[in-house]
Structures are given as C-alpha cells and as structure tokens.
Structure 1
Amino acid sequence: MQKEKMPVTMIEVVASMARGPVFLAGELMECLITFTNPMSHLSTSASSEMLAWASAQIHCQFHASENRVALPTQGNKQDVQAESDTVLIPSRGERGQCVLDTPPKILFCDLRLDPGESKTYSYSEVVPSDGPPSFRGQAVKYVYKLTIGCQRVNSPIKLLRVPFRVLVLQGMPEPPFPQDEEVSPSNPFLEEEEASRRDARPLERAMDMLMATTSRRCPHMFNITNMRGKVAKFCIFKTVYRLGEDIIGTFNFSEGDIPCLQYSVSLQSEEEIQQQYQRRPGQTISVTGHGRHLESCLHTASSHFSLPIPLNVTPGFSTDIVTLRWRLHFEFVTAREPMEPPTVLQNQSEVTVWAGAEHVDVDTFSWNLPIKVLPTNPALASYVSQFTGTNSINI
C-alpha cells in the first residue's frame, strides 16, 4: 500500500526597499522584510512553522577582468567553516571578492508563524561612505547587494539577495560648515528646530551641495583651430553636470577662416586601470560612448548641440584599482581650400539649385574636453534603475 505524500510546507520571505533601489553613500537604507506562512488555517495539513533566526547585512562584490587587471595574489582568507551551509557567509556563491560589508543585524530569533500569519521586520543601515560606487565597466565591476540570511532548525541557511545601486559623491568641495555646527535658517518664518532637523539629514545636505556646485554657470570659450587656421569658436556654459542633465554647447563658424564641412560631439567615459594593476605596460584606456551628435555645417554661421547624460551611468570616481573620467570628444572635417557659398540675386524670382562639389580635399582632427559628471537625487535615478528593490524566496 503506497503512503500518501505529505505536502511540503514553505515560508515565503519578501524584502522590499520602499524608497527605491538607488542610494547615496552615507544615506540611511531602509528595507521591510516580511515572513509569511502561506498555508491556510482551513487546510487539514496546516501547521505552525518555525524559523531559528534571520539576519541582514550589506556587502559589495568586486570583479575584475583577468585580461586587463593584474591583482596581487592573496592567500586563502576564507574561513574553514565557509564550506558548511550552516554558517552565514553573505557573499557565498558570488563572483569576485567581497570588498566591503556591514556588520550583520539580527532580525529575530525563534520565530513561530501560524497558518496564514505574517510578520514584518524593518532593517536599516547607513550605506558605507568609504566604499566605491556601483559600476559595471569593461575591466572592473562593483556590485552592491543586501543579503538576508535565514534558517530553519536543523536546516541549511537560505540567502535572499536584493541588488541595489550606490552613488558616491567624489570631487566635491568640503562643506562650508562643520556637520555638527548649528546652521541658522535663512528663512525667518522657518522654525529653528525644523531647520536644524533638515540640516541633519545627510541626503538633503548632499543634494544642496550638489545643486550649488552644478548650478554655477560661467561661459567657457575655446578657439577651434587646426594647422591651417581658425575653424570656429566654441562656447559651453559649464563643465560640471549631474546625471540626467543636458550638455549644451554652441559653435560660431562665422569667425573661422577654414570651412568646416561636418562636426560630431560624443559623450564618452574613460575607464583607466591604475598603473600598478595593469596587465600589460602602457595598457590602453577603455573608452565607452554614451551619446553622439553629428551635423553637417558647410556655409553655416552658427550651430549648437544638446547631449543628455543618461541617468543609469556611473559618475566619475577613483579607487586604488580604477579611475573613471568623463569627456566630450569632438571630431571636425574641414576643407583644405576656401569654398564659396552659393550666391542668390536679390531680385531673382526663379528657384536656384546649388550642387555641392563632387570632390573636396579635407582634413580631419579631434579634440577632447574633460568634464565632471556627478550623481543626482537617488529617487530620480530609481526611475530608470534595472533593479526593482524587491525580491523574494521560499524556504
């Protein structure tokens, strides 16, 4: 006689970052973690479920391309207990090295869930301000995850990972006042207590500094020349931008002596491995394009371009291993000989068709203009994030 199989009971674990999956380094992360016994209390096989414990912590995984990065050989730092599936190791099964982690925080011990019962716990932790930003480059990757570990009695540990993105403010000026210094509100109708509370929030303080830095406008003028003479005058109003901003520049070709047939402007990032970690001496820098504007401009007096900075790219940063910089890359095609514009008589009533020259001797040259790209409000970057800030597992 065949025995009837008992239904396998499960506990559903759901983790959700209500604010979104993007955070600024130094900001407080909050995540709600819900444990549910999904069995209905009306079921004949329903029973209470027990969890021994659960904890959560943040960690950052580093992965490097072996073809481009030569990391120093390290001894086996893995704990001898790492092979055991009853020891909590948040980076277990992950690629690369764990370069940063926060101390684990215990959510509970000995949790009992009756059929249909749910319990929610809140996890909060400050995202470390001394870590790298989230980055997926051609040679190096930094990936952040929140890992929740939980265990039934006499069972292996189960891990629930929630990936998220970290933005880091680097290259910013120092705050104009110490963080512990009380700041008087500039609005006389703003209560002092409310102003002090607002100033104490790192995210808002960082956003204020970010807005002040990227809002400064001062025209930067450049004369574009090649070996034959002046081509144009270029104007850009600032060189420091936030993610999501548009880079706008203008060209004045009327002041040039050399005819410009075509120009292009590309937004590019440069990923450079620090010299001591390069796989080969004189290794080339990895360049990635993020947008391009191309325009024909023969007989054009002026022109302009607008290049948006995507919200999902990584702002400039530097670590011991890699440096990421940003630039505008210009390419110009110019004529070697003067080219007369078509003439139209003032009283001419018939349509005139002008045909361009079939053959033009040209020169090409390029120019790079370094710019700074800084983070933006994490809530804004969350709208285009590849992460949802939510994940679940059955244990």
Structure 2
Amino acid sequence: MVRQQTRRQFLAAGATATTAAVAGCLVGSADAEGVFRPPVDLRGAIYLPARAYNTYQMWADYDEAVVERDLGYAASLNLNAVRTWVNYEFWMEDPEAHRRAIDHFLAAAAERDIGVLLGLFEGVGQQPTEANLEDTDPLTATAVQSPALWHLERRDRWENSRRFVRWFMARYRDDERLLAIEVMNEPGWASLKLRFAEAMFRTLTEERGSVPLTVGSTSLANNAQYLDWGADILQFHYNFANRPGTIENLLADANRLASRVDKPVWFSEWQRIRTGVGFTGEVTHDDWYPNYSSLAPVIRRAGVDNFFWSLMIKPAYVVVQRKNGVVNGVFHEDGAVWSLDDARALKAMSGDDEFHAEERPEWPTWAESVTQWVPREPPEQ
C-alpha cells in the first residue's frame, strides 16, 4: 500500500533529497515550463474537523461519519498523508473512548491509502482550562496547549504524562498505518515545553517500536537538538512567506540537510505567500484567505514531502491569526472548495491536476462572526 511503501522506503533508503521521486506510485507530468516533475512522495494535509477548534474537541466530539467524509475529500486530491494530534486531556477523562476513536481514525485513513503522522502533545495555544477546551464560539474559541503549564512546571507531575506515552506506544508503536509518532508540536527553544518534550521523547525511545519518532519543529535549526534526542524524521514549519524565493531557499536547505544527515525532512506546516513578514506579520486586504496555489508549485519543484494547513475550511487555529481575519482550508463541509486553483495545485503534486467541484470562496455560515476582523480595502482617495 502507498502509506506502507512510503515509510519503509524512507527507513531503508535514508530518504535523501531525491526520495520524493522514489515512490513511483503515480506517473509524473510536465509542469507549465515543460519540465518533467515526478510526484511528490508524501502529500499531506493537517486535519482537524471543520468545527473543532482544538484537539480536545476533535476527540471528545468524535464523529465517525464526519471523519470518513473529510478523509474522502483528502483522497480526492490524491493526498496520501494527514497530520493531527491525540489529546492528553481527553485521555485522562476517558482513555477507552479515545482508543476507540483513534482506532477508527487510523482504519478510515488506511481504507483511503492515507498514512497518519500522529502527535501526542501540543506546544501551541492557551491553557487547557475547562472553558478553553470546550469553547466553540468562533470569536473566542482557541487552540489549547497540552499539557498545562502547571503540569510542566514540576517534573514530579510528569509521571502521568509518561503513563499516557506508554499507553499509546503499547498500542500503536508497530502500527503500519502510522507514518510517524510526533512527541510534541513546536516545543520551542529553552523552555519548560522543551524540557518536557525531551523527557517524553526519552520515554518514547524506551518504548520504541517500528514506527519512526519525530518532533514538530518550528524551524530547521531546532532539529540540531532533536537529532541529539534520536529523532528518525525531521520537520520544519513556515506558514507564511512574503515571496516564493524565501521558500525556494528554505526547501533547498531542507534537501541539503536530508542528504547530509541521511534522514527524511518534512515541510510539515505551510499555507501561502502574503505581504507581511513572519507568522504575526501584517495581514492586508487580500492576504486573509487561502492561497495554496501561491506555494504548491514551488514545493512540487523542490520535491519536498509536505503537509499544508489545513484540509478543512475553518477560522485560523491560533487567536493571533483569527483576529487578523485569517481563514484556512480547502474544503467546505459539503465538499465545495474555496478555490479550484488551490485544489488543482495541491492535486498536481501527485502528477494529476484534474479536479472538479463547486467553488465557493465564502466563510462558513457558522463562522461568519469572524468576518468582522477581515481586513478591508482602504477607501479610494
């Protein structure tokens, strides 16, 4: 199967800079410049259901029909990977319900030849208070850090987190449906999160099976530490660049790093070109909507394995972006897409850019309150 070949080839071949062409599962095609481009090996999306504002909500309100529908949308783009996270707080409430939901998710993905990069902890978001975990108001709902700051502050509280890691590894460390297990998303530099992530990675290593281990890395530079921990796969994120050349240079660096360290390097979080610089940069009147076609051809030319944020159309995951009016995603819940150009550019990574659906560049009605933050064009002088 596609997902199994991908992971095994990575481990066997070392996933050098040319492994994006190794899979051979689909036939490549010539791009607009007439240059032959083989399919990008790993073509993925970050996935949370459209109305889940954090990973707790994804699992506490798990809906099998919604997940199966959404993964079907992913398959229609010839995606063969998704990236998401389990949730420690929900596990503490009901570990058996969490196991059932994880099992269904992995089975539904496998039925569509989609491999899963599954993370354990989340370094981004507000504190996981009951109010934050359950809030579904588009104006106030938030991503949640997991575990809580009070838990991170004292090492003697980490044993329960280790129990969670061991529980997960006992069930999934050899699961062929998993591309990799991610200890934490963006633990950062010198911080409580970083020390915690390192300790949990050590526990992962003690419980290691056949599934590779990784860390959700903010940048290529962070991986110097993660290599020391024993990471099998390296990651990096760059959601917003103000010009394609920035990403071209970054992807060239990633390919060089993959060749030098003889490990896969995944571009596991990206979105679009926009005017402002950096993640918190200015969002102008035409930068708030999805525009994956501004970057997808650059990534395809580089042949870098990647995951874009996000499969489903939804208000931005973090509040700082949402208050800039940012919306992410490809698919509405009914299967319409925000942009046919985006959908076709993403599918083109497989060597096939034919895609047909209703195009509807509109906010979902259930999230329209966020449009009050959408930047408006300045009045003509």
Asked if Structure 1 and Structure 2 have the same fold, meaning a TM-score greater than 0.5 normalized by the shorter chain, the answer is no
The alignment's TM-score, normalised by the length of structure 2, stands at 0.20
**Greater helix percent: which structure?**
2
The alignment's TM-score, normalised by the length of structure 1, stands at 0.20
User: Greater CA radius of gyration, 1 or 2?
Assistant: 1
**Greater strand percent: which structure?**
1
